[in-house]
Structure 1
Amino acid sequence: MNYAASLAVVVILTFFFPLTVRIGVAYGLPRTLATVALAAVLTFVAATLLIRWQVARYRQAAESVEEARRQVNLDPQNPRAYFVGGEHLASLLLRLGRRREAAEMIDRYARLGGARESEIVALQTALSQAERRQRRGTHLGRGN
C-alpha cells in the first residue's frame, strides 16, 4: 500500500468516527459511545503510525537506490557496484514498484563478465513475479 492509499485510509477512518458516535447515541448506549470513541482514536493513531513507518521505509529504499546508482555510475563494469547492503539495485527498484528500471538494471548486470548466473536468475524471477502481481492487480481492478 503506497502513501496515498494509506492517507486515504486515515481520511476514511476520520469520517467513520462521527458516524460511529451517532450510531452509539441512537442506541442510547453511553458506554458503547465511549468505547467506540476510544477505539476510533486508537485506530486513527495506529493508522498514523503505520503511515509514518511506510514513509520511512520508502525513503530508506529510495536512498539505497540512489547510493547504488552512484556506485554503478562510478564503476559500471564492477558487478559488486550493483549491490548496496547486500541487496541488488534491481531488487530495490522492484520494492519501489519500478519494474521497467529494474528490468534495465538486470539486463545491464547480466551483460557484465563477473555477474553470477544464480543472481541473474533470482532477479529475473523476482521481476516476473512482480509483473504477474501487477497484471493480476490490474485484471482484478477492472472488475473482471
Structure 2
Amino acid sequence: MNYAASLAVVVLLTFFFPLAVRVGMSYDVSRSSVVTTMLAILIFVAATVFIRWQVARTREASATLELARAQVNREPDNPRAYYVQGEHLAGLLLRLGRRREAAAVIDRYASLGGARESEITALRELLMQAERRQKRGS
C-alpha cells in the first residue's frame, strides 16, 4: 500500500464513520460497538503509517551509512571522507545504536593528520553520552 492509498483509506474512514454509526444504530447495534470498531480500524491505520515511516527512516539511514563507509574505504586518509551529508560517520553510527563501531571510527579519525581536535572532542562526548544512556537504560 503506497502513501496515496493510505491517505485515501484514512479519508474514507473519516467520511464513513458517521454513516457507520447511523447504519449500526438502525440495525440495533450499539453506538459503542460501532465506535470501538472504527477506533480499532483507525489504530490499525495509524500503526501502519507509523511502521512505514520507521522503515523508510531506517532504510534511508542504512543507505547513508553504506555511502559513508564506501567513501571512507575509497579515501581512508582523508578526514573529509568521514562526513556524508554534513554528518560524521561516527555520529550516524551512534544514532543507529552502534557504539562499538562508532568508537573504532572515532579512534581512526583521531589518528588522521587533518582531523580537528574540536571535532574529535565533540565525537567523543557524543560517544560518552550514548554510553551513559545505555547504562541508565539497563
The bucket for the TM-score relative to the shorter chain is: 0.7 to 0.9
Q: Report what 1:56 is aligned to.
A: 56
Question: Counterparts of 1:1-144 in structure 2 under 5 Å?
Answer: 30-138=30-138
Write the deviation string for residues 16-56 of structure 1: whole angstroms up to 9, x where unpaired: xxxxxxxxxxxx98111111211111111111111111111
1:75: Cα distance to partner? 0.7
Q: Which amino acid aligns with 2:122?
A: A
Q: Structure 1: which 4+ aligned runs deviate by more than 2 Å?
A: none
Q: Output the CA distance in 2 between the equivalents of 1:41 and 1:122.
A: 46
Aligned residues: 111
Q: Output the CA distance in 1 between the equivalents of 2:127 and 2:44.
A: 35
Q: Output the CA distance in 2 between the equivalents of 1:39 and 1:117.
A: 54
Write the deviation string for residues 85-125 of structure 1: whole angstroms up to 9, x where unpaired: 00000111111111100000011111111111221111111
Q: Which of the pair has more CA radius of gyration?
A: 2
Q: Which amino acid aligns with 2:89?
A: L
Mean CA deviation greater in 93-102 or 118-127: 118-127
Structure 1 length as normaliser, TM-score? 0.73
Identical counterparts, % of pairs: 65
Unaligned runs of 5+ in 2: 1-27
Mean CA deviation greater in 81-90 or 128-137: 128-137
